[in-house]
């Protein structure tokens, strides 16, 4: 799947992958602002992204643990996700994610 990250500086970075989490893919491609400090166990929120509303249908709903973590983040909105909780599959091809930090 191809995924586009838009950084805080409005730079778009297109990455491509077939497996693993979206966070891992971002870290491998040095997407600025996605740190993945907790290694993907949903406890740091350094992988916070906001999904482009036009592509939000590609994703399922966030788990309770992900939602709880996002609630602690003041920058969270209805499009917020923790991208370590998003699996790279063909279903999310074309996803556009805004980096929050």
Q: Pick one of 70, 84, 96, 97: the residue that binds ligand FES (CB under 6 A).
A: 84
On whether the CB atoms of residues 83 and 99 are closer than 8 A, the answer is no
Q: Which is nearer to ligand FES, 43 or 54 (CB)?
A: 43
Which of 43, 47, 56 lies closest to 28 in space, CA to CA? 47
> Which CB atom, from 38 or from 62, has the smaller least distance to ligand FES?
38
| 44 near ligand FES, judged by CB under 6 A | yes
Q: Kindly state the smallest distance separating residue 34's Cβ from ligand FES, in Å.
A: 8
The CA–CA distances, whole Å, from 25 to 46, 51, 69, 77, 81 equal: 14, 16, 21, 23, 15
**22 sits near ligand FES (criterion: CB under 6 A):** no
Q: Say which residues have a Cβ less than 8 Å from residue 17's Cβ, sequence separation at least 6.
A: 1, 3, 25, 28, 88
Task: Give the nearest distance from C-beta 67 to ligand FES in angstroms.
Answer: 12
Residues that bind ligand FES (CB under 6 A): 23, 36-38, 40, 42-47, 82, 84
């Amino acid at each position: 799947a191809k995924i586009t990250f838009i950084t805080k500086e409005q730079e778009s970075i297109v990455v491509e992958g077939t497996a693993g989490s979206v966070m891992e893919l971002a870290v491998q491609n040095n997407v600025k602002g996605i740190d993945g400090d907790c290694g993907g166990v949903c406890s740091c929120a350094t992988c916070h992204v906001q999904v482009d509303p036009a592509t939000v249908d590609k994703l399922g709903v966030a788990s309770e643990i992900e939602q709880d973590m996002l609630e602690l983040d003041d920058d969270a909105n209805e499009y917020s996700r923790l991208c370590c909780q998003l699996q790279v599959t063909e279903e999310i091809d074309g996803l556009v994610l805004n980096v929050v930090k």
